[in-house]
Amino acid sequence: MDVTAHAFKSNVKAALKDMQLQRALSGLPTGLVAQRTAAKAKLPEFEALRDVGRDIKNHTLAHLDLYLEAWETKATAAGAKVHWAPTAADAREIVAGICRDANARLVTKGKSMVSEEIALNAHLEAQGLEVVETDLGEYLVQIRHETPSHIIAPAIHLTEAQIEADFRRQHTHLPKDRPLDEPVKIVSEAREILREKFIKADVGITGANFLIAETGSSIIVTNEGNGDLTQSLAKVHVVVTSIDKVVPTLEDVTTLLRLLARSATGQEFSVYTTFSTGPRRAEDADGPEEYHVVLLDNGRSALLDTPFREVLRCIRCGACMNHCPVYGAVGGHAYGWVYPGPIGAVINPALIGLEEASHLPNASTFCGRCESVCPMKIPLPGLMREWRQQEFAAGGGTRMARSALKAWSYLARRPRLYHLASRLGIAALSALGRTRGAFRSLPLAGGWTRHRDLAAPQGRTFQQLWAEHKRGVPR
Amino acid sequence: MSDAAAVARREKVLGAIRTRLGNSGGKREAVEARIAGQARHLVPERSRQDASGLKALFAAQLRAGNATVVESASEADLPRIVASYLRGQNLPLTLRAGEDAWLRGIDWSREPAISITKGPAVPADEVGLTHAVAAVAETGTLVLASGPENPVTVTFLPETSIIVVRAADLVGPYEAAFDLIRERYGHGTMPRTLNLVSGPSRTADVGGRLVTGAHGPRRLCVVIVG
Ligand code: SF4
């Protein structure tokens, strides 16, 4: 997909003015956020499970090569063909090669963020293949030639009215006056159309939420059942996934599954959790004749000896973006690349480079909600701060921001000078703003005062108040 | 894509990981022991109940996900239960099923209107009948193993899915179900597909509103036998 992360600021401006988007996003607090809260309340062990989940992933990542090898041995023994892909280009070409070998014309796809990451659809289409997304949200996005704006709810940025209009434009073989005024009618229409594709598909591509070393299996988690039809009806099943998905045993994956659905949609468990191990067996009556797994690295291994290793624990539940005030205001597309929200702010700079994505770690209020809900306890704000430091060390940021930071750090290391400067500054502002009690505009603070007044300080600094408090001076 | 290139790509990824982790000897044994140990982690208390408690939890969880749950006191009664569910939904009594020995052992002639076609499902099938190897009370989840006995398409293609499970195969947590699978298939071995099913298919992709019946079955009826 095209990367527009560098244009984050203008993306944000457009998003804030987009009334359809604002309407679509307004459902988040009462939807996914409230549902997660309710699911968590029903499971007293939820918080303790987060610690267990974090430990499982930490252990696996510390032995990643060995668990991947163990998984590969088991998977291969069950008949899987395992393909290692150092880069996105490698992965694209491997999948295209599998399609060529299968003489494929029609490819169905379940939801896979890794396939978005490698821009798989465009590559396959360039080879003359028809690629059809079968997850409803992904399909809605595909027929608009857009990309997902959320990792578990790809079409969360669309209103029902937009979807209805898209269906009328896209499905021209159906009666023009058919009613599509309720979600259930739209879902039924999509079901009919995609059913045909499932049955005719030559290759079915899915992602994987997890790989299990003990059994050599891959796992998908869905609610629609599209992944199961995708992988059961085509002759060839290709799993496109990444190296960070492996866990040791069924018990380990069980713990992570207990966290995943609750964090993602607030369900106790997703409707379908499917373990796939090898292709169909000799005696089987259905299932794919070939089963391939493509394991993407694409910059992940390079994180292992950095503070960003922690982000490889991510199970892609989406809770961090659901709870993020920035995401809630601007939606996913503003982030300009595959992974939006706090997880995107941390992982995109690692995958596409800090230069391209440097705005993202700065797009945070540091409220900490993402970390507090992340089932894998990834310190997202801390990692964003780490990117900011790296950006500063590499000479990034505007000249003004750099000078301001330098001035601040000079003062912050000299407490007496700091107190003096803040006393003088505050006294000046408080004198200047005395009549109104607030400023309508202020040099260097235009970003704030363009949209709201800046309250004038009331005279004394925090340190002064604190010192008085310690001395017992009544306020 | 030559084999040599594939080997080189594999080495590149694994080599990069090894360099970054700086792994040395001794760890392989630890990893093998961890996999073989299959140690359980924290298991939620809610699944520690007696049989009747588990049955109640299992049914309540499934119903919360919009499934129908019915009980059949005995195997002999199953045909009547299935027929009455289908009649109640105004559905045909024509079912698709695999070669499951236990399902075949049931005397379906007690309900002469029922007809069962054997084999994997085709798009025209309206009702699929499968037998779950286990059921997990914790979240109201059925565990189905692929194979000629219960082909995956029978569970996913028809609009209506009827899944039968024996009360004796109902367990508390997922871990207990996986132990049953290990017993049946051997440790570290799995059927081609293991499906965990917790309701009829659903989606919330249109305006965030929940719709039951997406690509998989629109209706799920679970029959607990015994
Ligand atoms: S960072 Fe945490 S909250 Fe965000 S998607 Fe990953 S696991 Fe979920």
| Pairwise CB contact (< 8 Å): B195 & A228 | yes
Q: Is A124 in the pocket of ligand 1 (CB under 6 A)?
A: no
Residue A224 has pLDDT above 70, yes or no: yes
Q: Atom 3 of ligand 1 has which residue's CA nearest to it?
A: A374
Identity (one letter) of the amino acid at B153?
A: T
Q: What pLDDT sits at residue A450? A: 77
Instruction: Give mean pLDDT, residues B6-33.
Output: 91
Residue A401 has pLDDT above 80, yes or no: no
DSSP state of B148: S
Determine the distance separating the centroid of ligand 1 and the alpha carbon of B39, expressed in angstroms: 25
Domains and CATH numbers, chain A: 43-296 (3.40.50.10420), 399-471 (no CATH)
Closest alpha carbon within chain B to A247: B35
Q: Which of B22, B28, B151 sits opposite A66 (nearest CB)?
A: B28
Interface of A with B in 27-66 (CB under 8 A): 27, 31, 43-45, 48-49, 52, 56, 59, 62-66
Q: What is the pTM of this model?
A: 0.93
Q: What pLDDT sits at residue A133? A: 98
Q: Atom 7 of ligand 1 has which residue's CA nearest to it?
A: A314
- Best mutation target, B152, B154, B183, to test chain A (most A CBs within 10 A): B152
Q: Which atom of ligand 1 is nearest to the CA of A263?
A: 8
Q: What pLDDT sits at residue B24? A: 62
Chain A touched by B28 (CB under 8 Å)? yes
| Pairwise CB contact (< 8 Å): A278 & B192 | yes
Q: Is A95 in the pocket of ligand 1 (CB under 6 A)?
A: no
HEC profile of B27-86: HHHHHHHHHHHCCCCCCCHHHCCCHHHHHHHHHHHHHHCCCEEEEECCHHHHHHHHHHHH
Q: What pLDDT sits at residue A419? A: 84
Q: How confident is the model at residue A109 (pLDDT cuts 50, 70, 90)?
A: very high
| Pairwise CB contact (< 8 Å): A283 & B211 | no
Concatenated DSSP letters of A373-425: H-TT---HHHHHHHHHHHHHHTT-S-HHHHHHHHHHHHHHT-HHHHHHHHHHH
Chain B touched by A214 (CB under 8 Å)? yes
3-state secondary structure of A134: coil
Residue A458 has pLDDT above 80, yes or no: no
What residues are paired with B207 via a beta bridge?
Answer: none
Q: What pLDDT sits at residue A438? A: 80
CA distance A176 to chain B (A): 20
Interface of B with A in 137-176 (CB under 8 A): 139-141, 146-148, 151-153, 156-157, 173-175
Chain B touched by A289 (CB under 8 Å)? no
HEC profile of A92-116: HHHHHHHHHHCCCCEEEECCCHHHH
| Pairwise CB contact (< 8 Å): A233 & B215 | no
Q: Atom 6 of ligand 1 has which residue's CA nearest to it?
A: A314
Chain B touched by A353 (CB under 8 Å)? no
pLDDT in tens, B166-216: 999 999 999 999 999 999 999 999 999 999 999 999 999 999 999 999 999
Q: Domain B45-225 carries which CATH code? A: 3.40.50.10420
More confident residue, A462 or B104: B104
More confident residue, A462 or A220: A220
Please tell me the distance from the alpha carbon of residue A133 to that of residue A84, in angstroms, as a whole number: 24
pLDDT in tens, A145-174: 999 999 999 999 999 999 999 999 999 999
- Best mutation target, B3, B11, B13, to test chain A (most A CBs within 10 A): B13
Strand order of the sheet with strand A217-222?
A246-247, A210-212, A217-222, A272-276, B193-197, B141-145, B134-136, B170-171
pLDDT in tens, B33-61: 999 999 999 999 999 999 999 999 999 99
Sort out which chain A residues have CB atoms less than 8 A from B191's CB and list them. 277, 281
Q: What percent of chain B has pLDDT over 90?
A: 94
Q: How confident is the model at residue A415 (pLDDT cuts 50, 70, 90)?
A: confident
Q: What pLDDT sits at residue B22? A: 87
Chain A touched by B31 (CB under 8 Å)? yes
Q: What pLDDT sits at residue B2? A: 66
pLDDT in tens, A419-441: 888 888 888 888 887 777 788 87
pLDDT in tens, A121-138: 999 999 999 999 999 999
Domains of chain B by residue range: 3-37, 45-225
